[in-house]
């Protein structure tokens, strides 16, 4: 078989790789008979050094740093692997991690992981891993009987007890932040329910089930010639997991649920996610993923090394480039398979057959087909009648991502989707309270023909504050007139006619996402509004106004929505909707042209600064921020900015220059992100009366306010850290915000008010902050 380097280069531009598996130790203290490193076709481990030298580690890290810099990667992931990485011992591990971190962290953010058998994990090693922020995944195949089937020492002794001791250590409060999860290799002779219970008992943050590596040349065990034993085994666990209300993240099931809804799989085993990973062996040679070892001797080899080649050179190699091109790279059979988008040929290595190489369906094809269909059906039955927000799967690393201070676009998009579901539920609650109205009926009618039009309107951030206000007001139905504006806006988007009653409130009727109608003298009262053939007619308070929507022209009676384009996305200026009056300060009245120009220029320049100076905050803003509400300026010239907990996707601010606005956008959107997480996750005891001392205010704060303050100030500290040397006073401001963040974090951590998830959140945030201080 040819080495990868001989099997052709894709040519063209190198695609970035962001995951790097470093084989820091090439031997293992266990002798598991299902191990793909020692027991499968590839036997190259015999010729490689026992451990990675510090020089190789440093060279590999430099290659990664140079690759991250060239491709402007905001984050890379390095997984310490083996053999068994713990065989390095704490001192060598410490030295190696220092060598790895230094060059990489000078150019990008680094997530460090370790995959281990766990038997040598002790407090000394945990201290080292904690100091370097390494998260630890441990291999365990289930209960004692299941684990002992394969995972034994060379002399035959069980590894079960030392592994469980390692898991207990990772669960202890002092090392809990290290605990990444459990990797379980399936053996269908093990009882699936007992395996599931045993894994659950270790309280892991995540479980990964791995199909045992096999190929068409060396097919998997199929006891009693059963057709789909692996699908049946996993299906039993899937049903238990659903019945238990998904008590732990299980990667393969999360992936199946996600791909069923068109999302990513988050795994190499199933789904068409791009595989952007390369392995660096103990001698510095680049290899493909370890699973490929199962195909044939020498299969993962690339012929390239960190000593002689860049990562771009590896990325251009045909098989690596191919694995980043999704479904198109699959065999013809897979490409025509009805479940290809969820299965995508399974794990690459499992497709191998002598003669046709990897151009085949998976050797697990029958199982995968049944697994996809069964899990879809089981989910459909389980979630029948459930609300959409209950079904939407939380991204596996939601808390970790948000706690790190950022959040990528899919995660923030997912949070925004949950917020829309909350808005919708509140809208239904208002109708339950007051009964359906003409406008409600119109809205539901429009949704039947054009759901996207209604969805666009319901994404408006101020519908939720309006609904909350109406529900709190109880019997007063006057506010229901706002629904007329929503129905009219949806009709405009759907290009369908509608006639509804609207309520003029202090001279204004808002059509969220479309524009605002104005009357003189702040009149109040009902009006009749018609949308038809691209025009709006509204009659009320002694006048009739006609708006030609095609012309998008502002007049005394009509202000079309102002959109500020920001290169692929936009922010709307909202200066008409009465529901925006939920902020701490009064919103500015309708803007004139000069004020609009100011905001246009400020936002455009602030966004440019964010994308150049504060790029890691940009994806979240792009995915979540939709509306800016101008506030009245402070009479003493103080800065004013605010985020309303109920209005995700918007923020309010008084006029300010671009550099300050950039900080303010980052700061305020932190509040929005955390607020959205708090809607879904209990991070603290909401009954607690404890007050937390914080540096930024003289009075102690309730727990949620302190949590919000810590999270937002951490981002501001980061902003000023990144500006040190370029903005006057940046170092002092960095020190101040950092001090506030660290002080209040410690106070929160010691308050006893945080839930275990809240502790995990704070520990993650603290780990991010610690990276800056080092």
In the complex, the smallest distance separating the C-beta of residue 217 from ligand SF4, rounded to whole angstroms, is: 16
| Least distance to ligand SF4, CB of residue 363, Å | 9
Residues 6+ apart with CB under 8 A from 387: 421, 425
| 4 versus 347: smaller Cβ distance to ligand SF4 | 347
State the residue for tokens 């059509």: 511
Q: In what order do the strands lie in the sheet with 525-532?
A: 498-504, 525-532, 535-540, 543-548
Encoding tokens for residue 324?
């980043």
* Helices 703-723/658-680 angle, 10° precision: 140
Minimum distance between the CB of residue 431 and ligand SF4, rounded to whole angstroms?
44
Q: Binders of ligand SF4 among 28-47, rule CB under 6 A?
A: none
Nearest approach, Cβ of 369 to ligand SF4 (angstroms)?
A: 4
Task: Give the single-character DSSP code of 699.
Answer: S
Q: Where are the beta strands (DSSP E) in 281-417?
A: 285-287, 301-305
In the list 365, 453, 531, 765, the residue contacting ligand SF4 (rule: CB under 6 A) is: 365
Among 211, 339, 664, 754, contact with ligand SF4 (rule: CB under 6 A): 339
The answer to whether the CB of 711 falls within 8 A of the CB of 761 is no
Task: Give yes or no for residue 340 binding ligand SF4 (CB under 6 A).
Answer: yes
Q: Which stretch binds ligand SF4 (CB under 6 A): 147-155, 340-348, 618-626, 639-647?
A: 340-348
Binding region for ligand SF4 (CB under 6 A) out of 205-213, 338-346, 684-692, 730-738: 338-346
For ligand SF4, give the closer residue by CB, 348 or 406: 348
Nearer to ligand SF4, 340 or 531 (CB): 340
The residue (of 351 and 713) whose beta carbon lies closer to ligand SF4 is 351
- Residue 763 Cα distances to 29, 399, 406, angstroms: 32, 11, 15
Burial class (CB in 10 A: 0-12, 13-18, 19+), 773: exposed
Site string for ligand SF4, 284-323 (x = CB under 6 A): ----------------------------------------
CA distance 683 to 633: 35
Judged by CB, which is closer to ligand SF4: 347, or 443?
A: 347
Stretch that binds ligand SF4, among 154-162, 361-369, 430-438, 534-542 (CB under 6 A): 361-369
Taking the least distance from each CB to ligand SF4, the nearer of 360 and 437 is: 360
Question: Which residue among 162, 361, 395, 576 contacts ligand SF4 (CB under 6 A)?
Answer: 361
Binding mask 572-611 for ligand SF4 (x = CB under 6 A): ----------------------------------------
Q: How far is the CB of 236 from ligand SF4 (least distance, A)?
A: 20
Q: Which stretch binds ligand SF4 (CB under 6 A): 177-185, 365-373, 418-426, 624-632?
A: 365-373
* Token pair recorded at residue 676: 């959205």
For residue 2, the minimal CB distance to ligand SF4 (Å) is 24
CA angle 279, 282, 288 (to 5 degrees): 20
Closer CB to ligand SF4, 257 or 733, in the complex: 257
Rg (CA), the chain: 29
- If the CB atoms of residues 337 and 641 are measured against ligand SF4, the closer one turns out to be 337
Shortest gap between Cβ of 642 and ligand SF4 (angstroms)? Answer: 50
Other C-beta atoms closer than 10 Å to the C-beta of 700 total 13
Nearest to 761 by CA among 701, 681, 690, 666: 681
Q: Considering the complex, state which of residue 371 and residue 421 has its C-beta at the smaller distance from ligand SF4.
A: 371
Residue 527's closest CA among 549, 545, 548? 545
Beta-strand relationship, 249-250 and 277-280? unpaired
User: Is 268 within 8 Å of 227 (Cβ atoms)?
Assistant: no
CA–CA distances in Å: residue 289 to residues 10, 44, 75, 116, 365: 18, 14, 20, 16, 20
Q: Looking at 82, 103, 137, 345, which residue binds ligand SF4 (CB under 6 A)?
A: 345
| Cβ within 8 Å of residue 735, ≥6 positions away | none
Least Å distance between CB 211 and ligand SF4?
A: 12
Identity of the residue, 270 or 716, whose beta carbon is nearer to ligand SF4 in the bound complex: 270
Question: Residue 221: which of 367, 75, 29, 51 has the closest Cα?
Answer: 367
Q: How far is the CB of 332 from ligand SF4 (least distance, A)?
A: 10
- CA end-to-end span of the chain, whole Å? 47
Quick one: 20 or 209, whose CB is closer to ligand SF4? 209
Nearer to ligand SF4, 169 or 334 (CB): 334
Here the contacts of 262-267 (C-beta below 8 Å, separation 24 or greater) are 262/341, 263/393, 263/410, 264/410, 265/342, 265/344, 266/396, 267/208
Q: How far from the centroid of its chain's Cα atoms is residue 74's Cα?
A: 14
Q: Determine the size of the site formed for ligand SF4 (CB under 6 A).
A: 14
CB of 341 to ligand SF4, least distance (A): 9
Q: Which segments of 635-766 are extended strands (E)?
A: 641-642, 650-653, 691-692, 701-702
CB of 270 to ligand SF4, least distance (A): 8
CB of 204 to ligand SF4, least distance (A): 28
Given 368, 398, 488, 683, the residue binding ligand SF4 (CB under 6 A): 368
In angstroms, the CA 476 to CA 470 distance is 8
Which alpha helices (DSSP H) does 111-187 contain, by range? 123-131, 144-148, 160-171
Site for ligand SF4 in 318-337 (CB under 6 A): 333-334, 337
What number of other Cβ atoms are within 10 A of residue 742's Cβ? 19
- Tell me the pairing of strands 179-185 and 206-210: parallel
b/e per residue, 233-244, with b = 16+ CB within 10 A?
A: bbbebbbebbee
Cβ distance to ligand SF4 smaller for residue 115 or 265:
265
DSSP bridge pairs for 502? 527
Binding piece for ligand SF4, criterion CB under 6 A, among 239-247, 302-310, 339-347, 713-721: 339-347
Is residue 220 within the footprint of ligand SF4 (CB under 6 A)?
A: no
CB of 345 to ligand SF4, least distance (A): 5
CB of 347 to ligand SF4, least distance (A): 10
Adjacency order of strands within the sheet including 650-653: 562-565, 570-573, 627-630, 650-653, 641-642
CB of 337 to ligand SF4, least distance (A): 3
Select the span of 359-367, 520-528, 533-541, 564-572 touching ligand SF4 (CB under 6 A): 359-367
When binding is defined by CB under 6 A, the residue of 44, 108, 362, 559 that contacts ligand SF4 is: 362
Q: CA-CA distance, 94 to 97, in Å (whole number)? A: 5
Say whether residue 343 binds ligand SF4 (CB under 6 A). Answer: yes
Q: How far is the CB of 364 from ligand SF4 (least distance, A)?
A: 7
Which residue's CB is nearer to ligand SF4, number 298 or number 346? 346
Exposure on the CB side of residue 317, measured as CA atoms within 13 A: 27
Element of type H or E holding 195: helix 192-201
Nearer to ligand SF4, 346 or 675 (CB): 346
Q: How far is the CB of 348 from ligand SF4 (least distance, A)?
A: 11
Cβ closer to ligand SF4: 289 or 674? 289
Query: Rounded to whole angstroms, how far apart are CA atoms 480 and 626?
Result: 24
Looking at 308-316, 357-365, 624-632, 764-772, which segment touches ligand SF4 (CB under 6 A)? 357-365
Footprint of ligand SF4 (CB under 6 A):
333-334, 337, 339-340, 343-346, 361-362, 365, 368-369
């Amino acid at each position: 078989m040819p080495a990868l380097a001989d099997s052709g280069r894709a040519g063209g531009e190198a695609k970035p790789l962001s995951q790097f598996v470093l084989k820091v130790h090439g031997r293992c203290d266990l002798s598991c008979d299902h191990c793909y490193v020692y027991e499968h076709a590839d036997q190259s481990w015999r010729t490689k050094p026992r451990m990675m030298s510090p020089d190789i580690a440093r060279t590999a890290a430099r290659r990664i740093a140079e690759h991250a810099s060239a491709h402007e990667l905001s984050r890379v992931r390095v997984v310490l692997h083996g053999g068994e990485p713990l065989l390095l011992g704490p001192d060598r591990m410490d030295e190696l991690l220092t060598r790895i971190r230094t060059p990489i962290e000078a150019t990008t953010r680094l997530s460090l992981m370790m995959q281990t058998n766990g038997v040598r994990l002790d407090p000394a090693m945990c201290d080292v891993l904690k100091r370097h922020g390494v998260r630890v995944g441990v291999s365990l195949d289930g209960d004692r009987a299941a684990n002992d089937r394969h995972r034994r020492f060379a002399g035959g002794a069980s590894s079960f007890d030392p592994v469980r001791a390692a898991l207990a250590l990772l669960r202890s409060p002092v090392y809990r932040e290290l605990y990444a999860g459990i990797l379980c290799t399936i053996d269908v002779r093990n009882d699936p329910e007992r395996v599931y219970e045993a894994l659950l008992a270790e309280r892991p943050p995540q479980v990964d089930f791995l199909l045992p590596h096999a190929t068409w040349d060396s097919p998997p065990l199929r006891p009693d010639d059963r057709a789909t034993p692996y699908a049946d085994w996993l299906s039993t666990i899937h049903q238990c997991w659903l019945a238990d209300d998904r008590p732990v993240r299980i990667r393969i099931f999360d992936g199946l649920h996600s791909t069923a809804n068109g999302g990513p799989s988050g795994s190499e085993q199933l789904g068409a996610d791009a595989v952007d990973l390369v392995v660096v062996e103990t001698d510095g040679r680049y290899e493909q993923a370890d699973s490929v070892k199962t195909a044939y001797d020498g299969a993962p080899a690339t012929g390239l090394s960190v000593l002689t080649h860049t990562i771009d050179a590896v990325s251009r190699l045909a098989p690596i480039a191919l694995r980043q091109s999704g479904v198109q790279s699959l065999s013809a059979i897979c490409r025509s398979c009805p479940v290809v988008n969820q299965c995508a040929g399974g794990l690459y290595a499992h497709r191998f057959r002598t003669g046709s190489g990897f151009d085949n369906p998976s050797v697990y094809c029958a199982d995968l087909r049944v697994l996809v269909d069964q899990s879809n059906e089981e989910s459909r039955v389980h979630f029948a009648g459930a609300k959409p927000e209950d079904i939407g799967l939380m991204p596996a690393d939601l808390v970790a991502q948000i706690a790190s201070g950022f959040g990528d676009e899919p995660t923030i998009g997912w949070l925004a989707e949950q917020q829309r579901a909350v808005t919708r539920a509140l809208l239904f609650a208002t109708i339950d309270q007051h009964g359906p109205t003409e406008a409600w009926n119109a809205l539901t009618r429009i949704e039947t023909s054009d759901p996207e039009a209604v969805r666009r309107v319901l994404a408006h951030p101020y519908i939720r504050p309006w609904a909350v206000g109406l529900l709190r007001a109880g019997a007063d139905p006057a506010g229901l007139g706002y629904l007329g504006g929503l129905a009219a806006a949806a009709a405009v988007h759907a290009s369908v006619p509608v006639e509804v009653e609207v309520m003029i409130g202090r001279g204004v009727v808002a059509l969220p996402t479309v524009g605002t109608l104005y009357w003189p003298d702040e009149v109040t009262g009902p009006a009749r509004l018609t949308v038809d053939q691209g025009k709006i007619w509204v009659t009320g308070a002694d006048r009739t106004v006609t708006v030609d929507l095609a012309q998008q022209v502002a007049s005394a009676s009509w202000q079309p929505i102002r959109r500020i384009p920001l290169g692929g996305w936009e922010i709307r200026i909202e200066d008409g909707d009465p529901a925006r009056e939920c902020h701490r300060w009064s919103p500015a009245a309708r803007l004139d042209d000069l004020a609009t120009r100011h905001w246009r220029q400020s936002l455009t320049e602030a966004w440019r600064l964010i994308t150049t100076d504060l790029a890691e905050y940009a994806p979240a803003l792009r995915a979540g921020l939709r509306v800016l509400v101008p506030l009245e300026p402070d009479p003493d010239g103080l800065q004013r900015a605010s985020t309303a907990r109920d209005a995700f996707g918007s923020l309010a601010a008084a006029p300010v220059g671009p550099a300050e606005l950039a900080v303010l956008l980052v700061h305020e959107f932190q509040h929005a992100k955390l607020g959205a997480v708090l809607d879904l996750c209990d991070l603290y005891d909401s009954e607690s009366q404890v007050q937390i001392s914080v540096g930024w205010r003289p009075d102690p704060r309730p727990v949620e306010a302190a949590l919000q303050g810590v999270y937002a100030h951490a981002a501001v500290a980061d902003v000023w850290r990144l500006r040190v040397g370029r903005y006057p006073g940046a170092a002092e401001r960095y020190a101040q915000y950092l001090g506030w963040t660290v002080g209040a974090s410690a106070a929160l951590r010691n308050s006893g008010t945080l839930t275990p998830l809240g502790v995990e959140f704070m520990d993650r945030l603290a780990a991010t902050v610690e990276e800056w201080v080092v």
